[in-house]
A and B are shown apart, each in its own frame.
Chain A
Amino acid sequence: MFRGLSSLSALFSTLFELTTQPIDSAALRARLERPDAGACVVFEGWVRNHHLGKPVTQLEYEAFDDMARIEGDAIVTETEQHHPGCTILCVHRTGTLRVGELAVWIGVVSAHRAAAFLACRETIEEIKRRLPVWKKEHHLDGAAEWVNCTTEAAAKGPQPADYYARQSSLPEVSASGQEQLAKARVLVVGIGGLGCPAALYLTGAGAGHLTLVDAGRVELSNLHRQVLFTTDDLGAPKTAAAVTALRARNPFIQLEGLATELSASNARALVAGHTVVLDCTDNFATRFILHDACLAAGVPLVQAAVHRFEGTLDVFRRGDGGCLHCQWKSRPIAELDTAAGNCAGAPVFGPAVGLLGVMQAGEAIKIILGLETAETHRRTHLVNQLDCSVLSIAREADPACPVCGQEESFQPAVFSNQPTDAVLLSLDEMAALGKVQMVALLEPGESLDPARSATGTLPVPVGDIARLRELAALGPVILTCRHGVRSAAIARLLRLEGATGIYAMAGSSAAIGSSRV
Chain B
Amino acid sequence: MLREQAGKSVLDLTTTAATPAELYRELQASHALTFPATLLRVSINERYVTMESPLQPGDRVVFIPPVAGG
A interface residues (Cβ-Cβ under 8 A, vs B): 190, 192-195, 279-284, 287, 304-308, 310-312, 327-328, 331, 335-337, 339-342, 346, 348, 353, 380, 382, 384, 386-387, 391-396
Judging by beta carbons under 8 Å apart, are B67 and A312 in contact?
Answer: yes
Partner of B70 from A308, A310, A353, A387 at Cβ < 8 Å: A353
B36 contacts A339, C-beta separation under 8 Å:
yes
The reply to whether A340 and B66 form a contact with Cβ atoms under 8 Å apart is yes
**Are A393 and B62 within 8 A (Cβ)?**
yes
B70 and A192 within 8 A (CB)? yes
Given the complex of chains A and B, what is the CA–CA distance between A190 and B68 in angstroms? 12
Which residue, B46, B65, B66, has most C-beta atoms of chain A within 10 A? B66
User: Nearest chain-A residue to B35 (Cβ)?
Assistant: A339
A307 CA / B67 CA spacing, docked (Å): 6
B1 at the interface (CB under 8 A from A): yes
**Do the beta carbons of A393 and B48 come within 8 Å of each other?**
yes
Q: Do residues B46 and A393 form an inter-chain contact, with CB atoms below 8 A?
A: yes
How many contacts A-B (CB < 8 Å)?
88
A35 to B21 CA separation, bound complex (whole angstroms): 65
Q: List 23 A-B contacts (CB under 8 A).
A: A192-B70, A193-B69, A193-B70, A194-B70, A287-B68, A305-B68, A306-B70, A307-B1, A307-B65, A307-B67, A311-B69, A328-B66, A336-B39, A346-B69, A380-B48, A382-B64, A387-B9, A393-B47, A393-B62, A394-B47, A394-B48, A395-B48, A396-B48
Q: Name the CB-closest residue of B to A386.
A: B9
Q: With A341-B1, A393-B62, A394-B47 given, is the CB distance from A336 to B68 under 8 Å?
A: yes
Are B70 and A305 neighbours in the complex by a CB distance under 8 Å? yes
Number of residues of chain B lying within 8 A (CB) of chain A? 20
Q: Which of B19-70 contact A (CB under 8 A)?
A: 35-36, 38-39, 41, 43, 46-48, 62, 64-70
A327→B68 CA distance, assembly (Å):
14
By a beta-carbon cutoff of 8 Å, the part of chain B in contact with chain A is: 1, 4, 9, 35-36, 38-39, 41, 43, 46-48, 62, 64-70
What's the minimum C-beta distance from B65 to chain A, rounded to whole angstroms? Answer: 7
| B47 pairs with A311, CB closer than 8 A | no
- Which interface residue of B4, B46, B47, B70 has the most chain A CB atoms within 10 A? B70
- Closest chain A residue, CB of each to CB of B50: A329
> Is A340 touching B67 in the complex (CB atoms < 8 A)?
yes
User: Are B47 and A396 neighbours in the complex by a CB distance under 8 Å?
Assistant: yes
State in angstroms the CA–CA spacing of A335 and B37 once bound together: 12
- What is the CB-to-nearest-CB distance from B61 to chain A, in angstroms, rounded to a whole number? 11
CA distance A311 to B67 in the complex (A): 7
B65 with A340: CB separation less than 8 A: yes
Which A residues touch B70, using CB under 8 A? Answer: 190, 192-195, 279-282, 304-306, 342, 353
- Bound state CA distance, A280 and B47, in angstroms? 25
A325 CB to closest chain B CB (Å) equals: 13
Nearest chain-A residue to B68 (Cβ)? A340
B33 to chain A: closest CB distance in Å? 13
Contact of A331 among B35, B39, B47 (CB under 8 A): B39
Nearest CB in chain B to that of A327: its residue: B41
* Docked pose: A306 CA to B70 CA in angstroms: 6
Complexed CA–CA distance, A328 and B41 (Å): 7
Check A305–B69 contact: CB distance below 8 A. Answer: yes
Please give, as numbers and ranges, the residues of chain B lying within 8 Å of A396 by CB-CB distance. 47-48
Residue of B38, B65, B69 most packed against chain A (CB within 10 A): B69
Nearest neighbor of A342 in chain B, beta-carbon distance: B69
B4 to chain A, nearest CB (A): 8
Residue of A nearest to B44 (CB): A393
Tell me, in angstroms, the Cα distance from A386 to B7 when the chains sit together: 13
Which B residues touch A387, using CB under 8 A? 9
| B46 near A392: Cβ-Cβ < 8 Å | yes
Which of B35, B47, B64, B68 has the most chain A CB atoms inside 10 A of its CB? B68
B66–A339 CB distance below 8 A: yes
Shortest C-beta distance, B17 to chain A (Å), equals 20
Residue picked from A190, A193, A283, A340, most chain B C-beta under 10 Å:
A340
Question: In the complex, which residues of chain A have a beta carbon less than 8 angstroms from the beta carbon of B35?
Answer: 339
| A192-B70, A311-B67 known; A331+B62 contact, CB < 8 A | no
> Which residues on the B side are within 8 Å of A382 (C-beta)?
62, 64
Ranked nearest first, the 7 interchain pairs of A and B with the lowest CB-CB distance are A340-B68, A282-B70, A305-B67, A342-B69, A194-B70, A306-B69, A336-B66
In whole angstroms, what is the CA distance A279 to B68 when docked? 10
- Minimum CB–CB distance from B46 to chain A (whole Å) comes to 5
Knowing A284-B68, A305-B68, A340-B65, say if A391 contacts B48 (CB, 8 Å): no
Q: Nearest B residue to A347 by beta-carbon distance?
A: B69
Residues in B with CB closer than 8 Å to A311 are 67, 69
With known contacts A190-B70, A335-B39, A384-B9, A393–B65 Cβ distance under 8 A: no
CA distance A341 to B39 in the complex (A): 13
Residues from chain A with Cβ under 8 Å of B38 in the complex: 331
